[in-house]
Amino acid sequence: MNATDRLSLTMGQIQAEAEELQKAYIAGDSAARERLDQKEKVLDGSPTKRQALRAISSKHGFGWTNLLSYLDLDQGVREVIEAVRLGDLDRLRALLREHPEAANPFWPGRDQPPKPIPNDSIPLFVACYTTGRKADPTGRACKLAQALLEAGADPDIEDSTPLNCAASFNRVDFAEILLDGGAKVDGASDNGGPLAHALFFGWDVAKLLEKRGAKLDLRMAAGLGRTDAMSSFFNEDGTLKPEASALSLMWSQGRGFSDGEVLAQALVNACIANQVEAVAFLLDRGTEIDAMPKGFDFRTTGLHRALRRGNTEVAKLMIERGADLALKDGRYGRNALDWAMEKNLDEIAKLVKQKGKD
């Protein structure tokens, strides 16, 4: 779909297309059935209106909720988003000169913005996401972002969605533009969200955020391999200070974790980031080597995470320290040997097999 088609989309058009899709499906049209059956569970040979609307939304490149947001956006904002999608810097600058307010999303027909604001309604996010998934040798994404920021785009919009996006794609250049443009290094909620994203997805951005003064807790320090900082979160009796879990993890903003849970979260972060010294530091302080802590996308041990990332040095250490090689992760049901073979880690697979014979 080209920009002109997206800009001309209306709710009436979407509803009409959905109605036609329903009729075609019921009539046995193979294309209609393929489109719906790929994503929907149609009962009794008759798709619901909502199922048809979701299918049409997908056809136009949106989820249903995101499409509702896009259709209600100010037309000027929609034009800005499409210029960003196309990477048309001249067009973007011309639009922003005329309507600088379109650098941020707003919805004239709504009393308040949608909650949460869909990512693809945010021009700054679109600038990062559209170019973040592929090589960007000309730095076009940064130029688009700079134009948006100069027009007044909020770099911390929707709890730092643009900076989180840059962290997720490990776009150091884009993250620098945002930080120079006023983005808060610890996130709009001051909870370390950008660093949590960066440690999980993009190592280079994590180092940039550390350099720019991002706050640390034990989990973040472990991911960065900062054993010096890790020591500061322990009391003399070996218990953890409250600030050891002061920040947020990727999938959890919860507080009140036990010391054991926080230590396990730190171990998983260290395994994800291939921090051998941090892993040893935590194991030496009694961290449960086979724990599957909360706070991540699913339950796995540190060894599972290390193997999934191909972090062989950390994996070797965990195996040598006695990690349970038979344990299966909480999503895929794979043990250490399964992951080593899946990731073609021949040396680790051989080590696991040998340990099984001992």
Same domain, 238 and 343: yes
Q: Look up tokens 């088609």; give the residue.
A: 5
DSSP category for residue 101: G
Query: 118 lies in a domain?
Result: no
Report d(CA 202, CA 169) in Å as an integer.
6
CB-based contact 157:122 (threshold 8 Å): yes
Same domain, 224 and 318: yes
Query: 86 lies in a domain?
Result: yes
pLDDT in tens, the chain (358 residues): 566 688 989 999 999 999 999 999 999 999 999 989 988 999 888 999 999 999 999 999 899 999 999 999 999 999 999 999 999 999 999 999 999 999 999 999 888 999 999 999 999 999 998 865 566 767 888 999 999 999 999 999 999 999 999 999 999 999 999 999 999 999 999 999 999 999 998 789 999 999 999 999 999 999 999 999 999 999 999 999 999 999 988 877 666 789 999 999 999 999 999 999 999 999 999 999 999 998 888 899 999 999 999 999 999 999 999 999 999 999 999 999 999 999 999 999 999 998 876 5
Q: Phi-psi region for residue 72, left (φ > 0), alpha (ψ -120 to 50) or beta?
A: alpha
Q: How many domains does the chain have?
A: 3
Same domain, 248 and 342: yes
Query: 149 lies in a domain?
Result: yes
Query: Which residue among 163, 185, 211 closes a domain?
Result: 211
Same domain, 203 and 300: no
Same domain, 352 and 222: yes
Helix (H) or strand (E) run with residue 90 in it = helix 89-98
Domain span holding position 57: 3-70
Same domain, 54 and 93: no
CATH number of 233's domain: 1.25.40.20
Query: 237 lies in a domain?
Result: yes
Same domain, 80 and 177: yes
Query: 53 lies in a domain?
Result: yes
Which tokens is 88 given? 């048309």
Same domain, 252 and 343: yes
Exposed/middle/buried for residue 291 (C-beta within 10 Å: 0-12, 13-18, 19+): middle
Report d(CA 254, CA 261) in Å as an integer.
12
Query: 199 lies in a domain?
Result: yes
Same domain, 42 and 130: no
Same domain, 200 and 134: yes
Q: How many residues does the chain have?
A: 358
CB-based contact 155:162 (threshold 8 Å): yes
Query: Which residue among 211, 246, 273 closes a domain?
Result: 211
Query: 114 lies in a domain?
Result: no
Residue 183 CA, distance from chain mean position: 18
Query: 113 lies in a domain?
Result: no
Same domain, 64 and 91: no
Same domain, 263 and 331: yes
